[in-house]
Amino acid sequence: MMDYDYKLELKVRDYECDMQGIVNNSVYMNYLEHTRHEFLLGKGVDFAELAKNSVNLVVVRAELEYKFPLASGDQFWVGLNLVQSSKVRFDFLQDIYRCGDNKLILKAKITGTAVNQRGRPYVPDEIKGLFKSEKE
């Protein structure tokens, strides 16, 4: 198991499950997004403030590898690391584990960038300071 810069614990709610009784595949994107937002908020990065300053954080690619399903009532945690992947992009490396047995549920890489007033991609200073060092 990887060391994570941030972890968030959550619980599956009944309405997130499909007819098979497991979490619907699209719901995992919500778990991942909520974790990214909580991580950034905890680091003082406010989406609303950035948007007011014409800085829009956007997802440009999402890669999800489903390993095992969660079911209603399962408690789980999401681990997150943030790394710079290019001059204008960054990756949120996120994994979901079931609490109790730490069973790997999902692996994800969510690639993002920021878009400035002219629609040009870049990495704002507010994000640059959050990258995990490659030495770690």
Provide the annotated active-site residues.
18
Domain boundaries, the chain: 6-128
Please tell me the predicted confidence (pLDDT) of residue 135: 43
Structure tokens given for 85: 């992947």
What is the pLDDT at residue 5? 93
- The pLDDT value recorded for residue 136 is 43
**pLDDT value at position 133?**
56
Rounded Cα distance, 59 and 36, in Å: 11
CB atoms within 10 A of CB 36: 21
**What string of pLDDT tens digits covers the 136 residues of the chain?**
789 999 999 999 999 999 999 999 999 999 999 999 999 999 999 988 988 989 999 999 999 999 999 999 999 999 999 999 999 999 999 999 999 999 999 999 999 999 998 999 999 988 888 886 544 4
Residue 62 identity: A
Residue 59: how many other CB atoms lie within 10 Å:
14
Please state which CATH class domain 6-128 belongs to. alpha beta
Phi-psi sector, 132: left (phi>0), alpha (psi -120 to 50), beta? beta
